[in-house]
Amino acid sequence: MTALDALTPQAPPPAEVTGGGGAGPWRSAWRRLRRNPAGIVGAVIVLLFVLVAVLAPLLAPFRPATSEWFGEVTPTSVPGPSDEHPLGLDSYGSDLLTQLIYGARSSLVIGVVSTAVGLAVGALLGVLAGGIGGWVDTVIMRLVDVLLSIPSLLLAVSVAALLGRSPVSIMLAISAAQVPIFARLLRASLLAQRGQDYVVALRSLGLRQRRIVVGHMLPNSLGPVLVQATLTLATAVIEVAALSFLGLGDPNPAVAEWGRMLVTAQDRLDQAPWLALYPGIAIAVTALGFTLLGEALREALDPRSGR
Amino acid sequence: MAGARSAQAAPSGAAADGPLLSVRGLEVHYPIRTGILQRTVGAVRAVDGVDLDVPRGTTYGLVGESGCGKSTLGRAVLRLTEPTAGSVAIGGTDLLALGGEQLRRERRRMQMVFQDPLASLDPRQTVESALLEPLAVHRAEGGPSAWRARVRGLLDRVGLPSGAGAKYPHEFSGGQRQRVGIARALVLDPDLLVADEPVSALDVSVQAQVLVLLEELQRDLGLTYLVIAHDLAVVKHVSTTVGVMYLGALVEEGTSSGLYARPLHPYTRALLSAAPVPDPVAEASRERILLSGDLPSPADPPSGCRFRTRCPWVQPTRCADERPLLRVVDGHPPTQKVACHWAEDIEAGRLQPRGSARPAAPAA
Amino acid sequence: MTGVSLLDVEDLRVRFQRKGQPATTAVDGVSFSVDAGEVVGLVGESGCGKSVTSLAVMGLLPRRGTSISGSVRFDGTDLLALSPSELARRRGRDLAMVFQDPMTSLNPVLTLGRQLTEVLRAHTDLDRAAAKKEAVELLGRVGIPDPRRRAGEFPHQLSGGMRQRVLIAIALACSPRLIIADEPTTALDVTIQAQVLDLLTTLVRESGTAMVLITHDLGVVAGTCDRVNVLYAGRVVESAPRGELFAAPRHRYTQGLLAAVPRVDAPEGTPLHPVRGSVNDRLAWEVGCAFAPRCAHADAACRVPDIALSGPRPEHTARCVHPAGTPLEVA
């Protein structure tokens, strides 16, 4: 509303021109990010998740998926917490805490790799579409529309079904669902910038189109891409679990995986509900962490938010 | 319409004493497309047949209200918007005949200053790198160290404090940002600057600083300006020659002193009578010519004279059927040209406006 | 200044406190008054506090993070002391506001007639039919041709000037006693600006309404206001009747502004005298006159806190240690 908009131009940014520069856009974004409590919570969660995943062999009390204590599991009961096993055992007789810790590992690897692939392919398509335009744009965007019209999980299921059950096919499945997101994001960002004065100014200075796109428009799109990548990691973690849950996950039982832990916990929900609870919490908290961080990044990178 | 005008290339070759910028029959029409087949059903005639000459070292001021096509004209002159017809020559070179790579190299001779300096700068580039980049792209003489010295000298020349080069655009005040914009426009040592509303986004007290800077730069560097603005006082102050635009075409042109003292076209008169003056005495004593109605759509301009739908002096003959061309009127210098069939009769008072002219509200 | 005016703003202060940022004082002790039938101008550049002042008077500032002190007496009652609901009742009936941007101030999905009747029915006891009739009448009064047909149209079907007329019609709907117009013509072309200003002043003179006109344009002030308050960095730096302000400005800022503005009626070759620096320069200057860092006449005497508004006559005062017309040697 106009009445409140009137407030913003009242406080032009301070402009003491003495003293060194260095308040670059990334740096001021970082400053805003640090002031956002939700962002800090998100960042801490993400950091913990990454640390746990990377340091899993050091942190976990045992080796994963050994079924070492299979004898202690009976058809009617799963041993709960004990001195040796702080969270108890899983239904195959492996240490639950160890399984959870190693689960973070597979989630991180699959999430990061699939997002990276999705981003790379999507960004390339988006840049080609938005940077070249014309029929290239039309063809790419129709392709992307087709991809987008398939629900992402269904797309992932089809890819997994097509390529068989393997970690690679899970990654491909998840990144296939992400390609359209990044392609559209970048194309929209480039198109929005194409008419902006600064791009017109660069053209009038005699810069080549390629240099304008790669050297200026693309870096100015990085903010939204970074935000989207962070938010996409949250969905990727959930999708990895969902695919495993649907039986399309990594078939290797020696790899601990949160989604599969949920599946196996199902049979014993009445006797040992914590078997589902712990991986469920792990998935939810990790996704929440990435989401909080992504939203905080979005706010921090938005030049309209206060300095 | 374009066919009737001299659409051939501007004088070529010995351009030393000809105008630096010469525009003939310039048209920018945007097609209007509808339906899934994108059939062209008409055109927005943003610029519809403009001729103008700007001698080297002078300033041509283009005034008009929003939607008159003045900004489009400015961009078409620089080929930042593709003209649909006509010719634009700078120093004898026909810009519209140049291919992509030739045009790109020729761009160093003509630069633009924007209305919103912040929007015209890449937010992620320091001032120094924004100024160095065009030098590198055009492989200017000297090496990086010579370029850096040039950039430093230029920043100093436009009145920015030392250390400004290391800063980002958002760290400056509005006036300083515009100085950055001007420095960048000058970095390739151009002949022509097109300034589109160069001060309208700035605070009143800062506008004068930028206007004075532009004047000094013109004097020192021999620059030629095409200044586009809606503010009549700004245009009068900076211009040697002023052109008044209405609905895509010039309706009057003259030296700035001549045109403001004795405007001929009814639209120019209305504009001048409406321009506020910071002087209560002058405000209270002058006649206001109030225009009726709204600006017609440039997709469907009125027949004959484009201004006739709002003109207080509109006549039953000629106005609706003949498009008036710019012409010289007896008793006025040949530099003043007006596109009105009835200019003599209006000036002599033989024609009276339709009752809308009345004195401004009396002072209490 | 006698306290019997329709609107009396006394020592108004507005501070904004946003989380994690230092508090900023947007309005720093502003006082002015407006009589019935009078047009008073608040003039200044961006950041001078003119818009915040008007929003504070209207009670339209966000409550969170804003602290307001001083008094805003309208016909004897302090508006700052009223509850939000009491204030809302007054807004529209006694006080009305015209904003700069006529597009965002109108609801795009309601017809113009509907938007007018809504205001009328909220503040008067007219029935639907009577309110409709009155709405058409109002549109006619603000110079909209064919008002009956226009009442059934939507905002996007009108030009900018016409939309601003509709906003004025809405402001006038309940015959308010005070209209605050915040840059009402800044978004409009000059020819339309002249029409809208003409309309506003005529309406004020005819109905005895008071008006506060907020603008950055000295030309607009010269053509419309009776009294003018020049604001700089949240303070009134000069207050004078229109004629005197332009003929003999006292504050160096006012003087500087007038010398910096090009005029359409200036003889050829008239030089411009820019004011140096920018408003932000005050950051380095903590005490005393905020304009001093940009002023050619500033000296150590300008670094005194709380320079008062003063002048030979109470009608024309300036907050300046070295006002124009008094040679430096004497001061």
Domain coordinates of chain B in residue numbers?
264-364
Q: Is the pLDDT of residue A57 over 80?
A: yes
**How close B205 comes to chain C (CA, Å)?**
6
CB atoms within 10 A of CB A138: 11
Question: Which of C51, C60, C99 lies closest to A10 in CB terms?
Answer: C51
d(CA B171, CA B169): 5
What's the pLDDT score for residue B242?
97
Of the candidates A214, A222, A211, A147, the one whose C-alpha atom is nearest the C-alpha of residue A189 is: A222
Give bridge partners of residue C215 from the DSSP assignment: C43
Q: Which H helix or E strand runs over A211? A: helix A209-212
Name the pLDDT band for A147 (thresholds 50, 70, 90): confident
Chain segment C86-120, per-residue pLDDT in tens: 888 888 788 988 888 767 788 888 999 999 998 88
Of the candidates C271, C97, C195, the one whose C-alpha atom is nearest the C-alpha of residue B238 is: C271
Q: Which H helix or E strand runs over B253? A: strand B249-255
Chain C CB contacts of B206 under 8 Å are 274-275, 278
- The token pair at C206 is 């005819």
- The token pair at B162 is 């030392």
Question: Which of B75, B107, B167 lies closest to A205 in CB terms?
Answer: B107
Cβ A264 vs Cβ A278: under 8 Å: no
Cβ B311 vs Cβ B305: under 8 Å: yes
Nearest residue in C to B357, CA atom: C195
d(CA C292, CA C298): 5
Q: Is the pLDDT of residue A265 over 50?
A: yes
Q: Is the pLDDT of residue B213 over 90?
A: yes
d(CA B77, CA C200): 40
Are the Cβ atoms of B176 and A17 closer than 8 angstroms?
Answer: yes
**ipTM of model:** 0.86
The total number of residues written for chain C in this structure:
331
**How close A36 comes to chain C (CA, Å)?**
10
Chain segment A208-235, per-residue pLDDT in tens: 988 999 899 988 888 888 889 988 888 8
Chain segment B143-174, per-residue pLDDT in tens: 899 999 999 999 999 999 988 999 999 889 88
Q: List the 173-192 stretch of B: residues with Cβ below 8 A of C.
A: 173-176
What's the pLDDT score for residue A303?
57
d(CA B263, CA B269): 6
Could you give the C-alpha distances from B334 to B326, B331, C57, C112, in angstroms and in order? 11, 9, 56, 50
Chain A CB contacts of C49 under 8 Å are 10
- The token pair at A212 is 């304008």
Cβ B184 vs Cβ B118: under 8 Å: no
Q: Is the pLDDT of residue A169 over 50?
A: yes
d(CA C13, CA C25): 8
d(CA A46, CA A233): 10
pTM attached to this predicted model: 0.84
Of the candidates C75, C5, C39, the one whose C-alpha atom is nearest the C-alpha of residue C208 is: C39
A1 touches chain C (CB under 8 A): yes
The total number of residues written for chain A in this structure:
307
**How close A11 comes to chain C (CA, Å)?**
6
Are the Cβ atoms of B290 and C195 closer than 8 angstroms?
Answer: yes
What's the pLDDT score for residue C326?
57
Chain segment B3-12, per-residue pLDDT in tens: 333 334 444 4
Could you give the C-alpha distances from B80 to B110, B191, C225, in angstroms and in order? 11, 17, 43
Q: Who contacts B283 (Cβ-Cβ below 8 Å, separation ≥6)?
A: B276, B277, B360, C219, C222, C223
Nearest residue in B to C205, CA atom: B364
Q: Is the pLDDT of residue A78 over 80?
A: no
Chain B CB contacts of C258 under 8 Å are 278
Q: Who contacts C233 (Cβ-Cβ below 8 Å, separation ≥6)?
A: C28, C47, C48, C49, C279, C282, C290, C291
Q: Who contacts B349 (Cβ-Cβ below 8 Å, separation ≥6)?
A: none
Chain segment B26-70, per-residue pLDDT in tens: 999 998 887 777 778 888 899 999 999 999 999 999 999 888 999
Of the candidates C238, C200, C3, the one whose C-alpha atom is nearest the C-alpha of residue C98 is: C200
Q: Strand, helix or coil at B43?
A: strand
Chains that touch B (3 or more CB pairs under 8 A): A, C
What's the pLDDT score for residue B9?
40
d(CA B193, CA C113): 48
What's the pLDDT score for residue A247?
77
User: Out of A169-173, B348-352, C101-105, C238-242, which region has the weakest mean confidence (pLDDT)?
Assistant: C101-105
Question: Which of B112, B164, B170 lies closest to A13 in CB terms?
Answer: B170
Chain segment A91-114, per-residue pLDDT in tens: 777 888 888 888 888 888 888 899
Q: B204: number of CA atoms within 13 Å, CB side?
A: 25
Q: Who contacts C2 (Cβ-Cβ below 8 Å, separation ≥6)?
A: none
What's the pLDDT score for residue C20?
66
What's the pLDDT score for residue B131?
96
d(CA C318, CA C259): 18
**How close C293 comes to chain B (CA, Å)?**
14
Chain segment B33-44, per-residue pLDDT in tens: 877 777 788 888
Name the pLDDT band for A139 (thresholds 50, 70, 90): very high
Higher pLDDT, B197 or C123: B197
Chain segment B109-142, per-residue pLDDT in tens: 999 999 999 999 998 899 999 999 999 999 988 8
User: What CATH topology corresponds to A28-71+85-301?
Assistant: MetI-like fold (1.10.3720)
Beta strands across the sheet bearing C7-16? C24-34, C7-16, C66-74, C77-78
**How close B277 comes to chain C (CA, Å)?**
4
Q: SS3 for chain C, per residue?
A: CCCCCCEEEEEEEEEECCCCCCCEEEEEEEEEEECCCCEEEEECCCCCCHHHHHHHHHCCCCCCCEEEEEEEEECCEEHHHCCHHHHHHHHHHCEEEECCCCCCCCCCCCCHHHHHHHHHHHHCCCCHHHHHHHHHHHHHHCCCCCHHHHCCCCHHHCCHHHHHHHHHHHHHCCCCCEEEEECCCCCCCHHHHHHHHHHHHHHHHHHCCEEEEEECCHHHHHHHCCEEEEEECCEEEEEEEHHHHHHCCCCHHHHHHHHHCCCCCCCCCCCCCCCCCCHHHHHHCCCCCCCHHHCCCCCHHHHCCCCCCEEEECCEEECCCCCCCCCCCCC
Cβ C189 vs Cβ C102: under 8 Å: no
What's the pLDDT score for residue A23?
60
Q: List the 10-29 stretch of A: residues with Cβ below 8 A of B.
A: 12-13, 15, 17-26
d(CA C278, CA C266): 25
Nearest residue in A to B160, CA atom: A17
Under-70 pLDDT residues of chain C: 1-3, 20, 102, 281-286, 326-331
The total number of residues written for chain B in this structure:
364
Beta strand B327-328 with B337-338 is: antiparallel
Q: Which H helix or E strand runs over A297? A: helix A274-301
Name the pLDDT band for A237 (thresholds 50, 70, 90): confident
Q: Which of A10, A196, A197, A216 to mutate to test the interface with B (most CBs of B within 10 A)?
A: A197
Of the candidates B42, B119, B28, the one whose C-alpha atom is nearest the C-alpha of residue B71 is: B28
- The token pair at A74 is 């009976």
Domain coordinates of chain C in residue numbers?
102-175
Q: List the 82-141 stretch of B: residues with Cβ below 8 A of C.
A: none
d(CA B61, CA B242): 5
Q: Is the pLDDT of residue A65 over 80?
A: no
B114 touches chain A (CB under 8 A): yes
Are the Cβ atoms of A4 and C18 closer than 8 angstroms?
Answer: no
Q: Which of A31, A189, A205, A304 to mutate to test the interface with B (most CBs of B within 10 A)?
A: A205
Chains that touch A (3 or more CB pairs under 8 A): B, C
Nearest residue in C to B284, CA atom: C223
Domain coordinates of chain A in residue numbers?
28-71+85-301
Question: Which of C51, C61, C283 lies closest to A16 in CB terms?
Answer: C283
Q: Who contacts A285 (Cβ-Cβ below 8 Å, separation ≥6)?
A: A45
